Amino acid sequence: MVVDESISSALNRIADQLEENNDVLKRIANHYDGVVPVMTRNANRVEKAHMEVEEDNRSPLDKMYEGLFRPQEN
């Protein structure tokens, strides 16, 4: 089968573009794999800190006075 030169050229350009797109997608995937775990870890830290604040929303001054003016045991 004889393939027209313009069709052959178009197919080669398509193949080249697909390879280039795959390279770009690989770079995006590598970046994603590097960034997402850090973002997830930071989000978990913020959530944990937020939950701790909700559980104990006393000010640092309140906490300090609590230690100073604790009722004495007999």
Q: Looking at the domain assignment, is residue 74 inside a domain?
A: no
Domain assignment present for 73:
no
Does residue 9 sit within a domain?
yes
Asked whether residue 39 is assigned to any structural domain, the reply reads yes
The residue range of the domain holding 42 is: 5-68
- Domain assignment present for 18: yes
Q: 34 in a domain, yes or no?
A: yes
At 41, which amino acid appears? Answer: R
Provide the number of structural domains found in the chain: 1
For residue 19, the one-letter residue type is: E
Kindly state the average pLDDT of the residues 12-22. 96
- Rounded Cα–Cα distance for residues 62 and 37 (Å): 36
**Does 11 reside within a domain?**
yes
pTM: 0.50
Mean pLDDT, residues 6-17: 94
Q: What is the pLDDT of residues 40-71, one digit of tens each?
A: 999 999 988 888 777 777 777 877 777 777 66
Q: How confident is the model at residue 22 (pLDDT cuts 50, 70, 90)?
A: very high
